[in-house]
Structures are given as C-alpha cells and as structure tokens.
C-alpha cells in the first residue's frame, strides 16, 4: 500500500526555516513510529514568482490537487509590495484555497498552561483554553457580487455583497458538527440574524442540518458581536464555534490573541470528502512571513509543527500520533524552552528555531 502523499510549500520569509523543523518531525515519525509519507516540495508565493513569474505555477497547482494534504509555511514580504495585485504572493495562497475548494477553515485557539501568563487576559480566564473556530472560507462578503467602487451621482460608493446559498451553509455546518463529534459534542453558531437576511438563512440551515443529521450535537446560536464579547469575557464556555467568512476572520483573530502568541497557532482548511479518502486539505500556521526576522534563527516553529499535527489528525487518521506530538510540545514549554516571541518581561535567553526543533524531537523520544 502506497504511503500517503504530502506536498510541502515552504513559501517565503520564515516559511522555509520553520518548515525545516517540520521535516525533521516528519522524519522522526517515519523512523520511530513507522509512519511514512511520500513528501514532495515546491514553490509558492514570492519564491514562485521569482522562479516562474507567477505566485503559483500550474504544475504546482496540479500537485496540490493530487496530494493527500498540503503543508504551507508563509507567503509575502516587502520585496513584493510593488507587484501588480494579480501576481502578489498572496494570490498563490488564494488560488490554492479556491481551486482545492477549501470551504471549511479550522482555527484552534489552545492555551498551553506554561504560556497562560502571555495572554492579555487573566490567567484563570485562559488557562486550559481549547476551542476551535470553523470559518466558512470560500463565500460570503469577500466573494459576493456585485462588488467594487462605483460612481453614484457626484461621489463614489464602495459595494460588497454578503451572499450565501443553502448548500454553502449546509456543507460548512456539517464540517463543524463532524468536528464536534470528535470533541465535546457542542457547537455555537454565530451570525447576525437580528439585522441580516443572510444571518437568518444561516441560522435556519444550521439548525435544520443539526436536527436532521446530528441530533447528538448540542447546538446554540449567538449573535456574532455578542460572541466577540463572550470570547473575551469567558472563552472556555465554547468548544466549536461555527461562523461565516467575515465574522470568522474577525473572531478567529480575537481568539488567537487569547493564547498570547501568533507563533503558537496552526490552522487547517478542508474541502469536500473525496470518495473513501480524506478531503483535500491545506495546513498552515496563522503567522505571516515575518521578514524582519527572516534568516536570523528567531522564528518559532511550533505553529507550523502543530499544523502538521492537525494533518495527522484530520487527513491521515492518526489522532493518537497527533496527540503525541502536541503533548511533546506541551512538555517542552513546561520545561521552559522559549523562542524569542515567547520571552516574558523577566527576560532570559531565548533558544533558536533549530534548538526548539531539537527540544521537540527529544520530547518525542521521551514519549516512547
């Protein structure tokens, strides 16, 4: 039986640096757990533009469509700011999301106990936090038509259209409910049904999907503005939060900062199931390309490594091994290992990107 395939797109900035540590972890699982992958690598973003004049070559796109999962580092940087919008590095990532039809974006917000003091909220509010926001990723106000800036009388008007079909809501709701079955069986759906017709439709469809096919899931509804407030007031009341593209963009960034560092946060973007196999999937850290620290060995690889842990869980049905990796990271943090972004006011000596990878590999050895 063939090994599962994994396409690595390290990208720009610190992407290659953090991805190097992920590749070491992948090699560990092959050597120590007999869990092997057919790994291929290619270019995306600015590096692809430098090589091919496009942020995503057609051959790379074909590889992504054929792979069991794609792992991406980061794209962009000031070097590419003057490029035409159509060839900016970020367009490569957007093309991947669109052509792979990655409609369900999973953004965990997990606060490791050792880092609870890094949150801007009180420790008792965030310690032990473990929630996931499921954001619809390919429709809504970012894609609806009409859109644009138009002349209207003697002034300009900017128009964006919030648009959802029943089918688009249905499929992302199912993604959230399936995820909840792996967790606590609880979903809170957030929209603005009090002022938006799209919110009314969202609430009706989500409720129908739950009542018809997921009666075991505890479903609640909340207006998105109240949801933002509740995330700051008492975030541990939630487990899985389901929401649309715009609100998900805002709420997931709010939830991200509850944990104290963007360098700790992974994400997964999932498509529809492919026969008996896993859905198309792209995994990436939430952080950007961080050009200010590129090449200095300061980057935190944990978010990218945790993204691989998500791939183990959601694409490769290796939940136990994903937990092993997450617990190894937790052990390293509990022992006091810190990259520069995790250094507190007390100072101390941060470790390098490679040294953090070393520590995680040692913790994985200790897990055996």
Question: What per-residue confidence (pLDDT) applies to 344?
Answer: 65
- pLDDT, one tens digit per residue, over 185-205 is 999 999 999 999 999 999 999
User: Is the Cβ–Cβ distance between 102 and 269 less than 8 Å?
Assistant: yes
User: Can the peptide bond before residue 146 be classed as cis, meaning omega within 30 degrees of 0?
Assistant: yes
Classify the phi-psi angles of 366: left when phi > 0, otherwise alpha if psi is within -120 to 50, otherwise beta. alpha
Inter-residue contact 135 to 249 (CB < 8 Å): yes
CATH number of the structural domain 116-129+136-259:
3.40.718.10
Is residue 120 very low, low, confident or very high in pLDDT (cuts 50, 70, 90)? confident
**What percent of the chain shows pLDDT beyond 90?**
84
pTM confidence score: 0.91
Query: Residue length, the chain?
Result: 368
Give 346's pLDDT tier (boundaries 50, 70, 90). low
Q: Does the 1-103+271-368 domain belong in CATH 3.20.20.100?
A: no
CB–CB of 198/230 below 8 Å? no
Q: Where does the chain hold its CATH 3.40.718.10 domain(s)?
A: 1-103+271-368, 116-129+136-259
Label residue 291 exposed, middle or buried (CB < 10 Å: 0-12, 13-18, 19+): middle
Q: Which two tokens stand for residue 106?
A: 């999973």
What is the three-state SS of 30-53?
HHHHCCCCEEEEECCCHHHHHHHC
**Residues identified as active-site:** 142, 192, 225, 249, 253
Q: Burial, 295: exposed, middle or buried (Cβ in 10 Å; 0-12, 13-18, 19+)? A: exposed
Cα gap 137→78, rounded to integer Å: 26
* Integer CA distances (angstroms), 5 to 38, 274, 275, 312, 362, in order: 5, 15, 16, 12, 26
pLDDT (tens digit per residue) in 268-308: 999 987 877 788 999 999 888 999 999 999 999 999 999 99
Which residues, listed in sequence order, are joined to residue 186 by a DSSP beta bridge? Answer: 218
pLDDT in tens, 90-119: 999 989 998 999 999 999 999 888 888 888
Give residue 342's pLDDT band: very low, low, confident or very high (50, 70, 90): confident
CA nearest 138: which of 158, 178, 167?
167
Tell me which residue of 42, 57, 78 sits closest to 294, measured CA to CA.
Answer: 78
Q: Residues 6 or more apart from 79 whose CB is under 8 A from it?
A: 46, 291
- Report the pLDDT averaged over residues 142-146: 93
């Amino acid at each position: 039986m063939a090994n599962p395939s994994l396409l690595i797109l390290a990208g720009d900035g610190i992407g290659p640096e953090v991805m190097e540590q992920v590749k070491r972890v992948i090699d560990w699982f092959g050597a120590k757990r007999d869990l092997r992958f057919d790994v291929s690598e290619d270019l995306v973003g600015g590096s692809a533009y430098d090589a091919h004049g496009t942020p995503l070559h057609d051959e790379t796109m074909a590889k992504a469509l054929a792979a069991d999962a794609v792992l991406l580092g980061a794209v962009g940087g000031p070097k590419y700011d003057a490029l035409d919008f159509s060839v900016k590095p970020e367009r490569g990532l957007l093309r991947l999301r669109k052509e792979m039809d990655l409609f369900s974006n999973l953004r965990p917000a997990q606060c490791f106990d050792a880092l609870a003091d890094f949150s801007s909220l009180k420790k008792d509010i965030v310690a032990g936090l473990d929630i996931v926001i499921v954001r619809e990723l390919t429709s809504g106000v970012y894609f609806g038509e009409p859109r644009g800036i138009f002349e209207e009388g003697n002034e300009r008007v900017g128009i964006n259209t919030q648009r959802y079909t029943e089918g688009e809501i249905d499929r992302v709701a199912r993604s959230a409910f399936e995820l909840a079955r792996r967790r606590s069986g609880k979903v809170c759906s957030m929209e603005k049904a009090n002022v938006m017709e799209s919110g009314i439709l969202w609430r009706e469809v989500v409720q129908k999907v739950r009542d018809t096919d997921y009666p075991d899931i505890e479903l609640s509804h909340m207006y998105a503005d109240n949801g933002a407030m509740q995330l700051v007031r008492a975030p541990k009341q939630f487990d899985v939060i389901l929401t649309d593209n715009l609100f998900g963009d805002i709420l997931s960034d709010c939830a991200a900062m509850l944990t104290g560092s963007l360098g700790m946060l992974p994400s997964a973007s999932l498509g529809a199931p492919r026969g008996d196999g896993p859905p198309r999937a792209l995994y990436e850290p939430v952080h950007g390309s961080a050009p200010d620290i590129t090449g200095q060995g300061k980057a935190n690889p944990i978010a990218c490594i945790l993204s691989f842990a998500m791939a183990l869980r959601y694409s490769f049905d290796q939940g136990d091994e994903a937990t092993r990796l997450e617990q190894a990271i937790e052990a390293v943090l509990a022992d006091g290992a810190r990259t520069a972004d995790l250094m507190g006011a007390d100072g101390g000596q941060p470790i390098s990107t490679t040294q953090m990878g070393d520590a995680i590999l040692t913790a994985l050895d200790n897990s055996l």
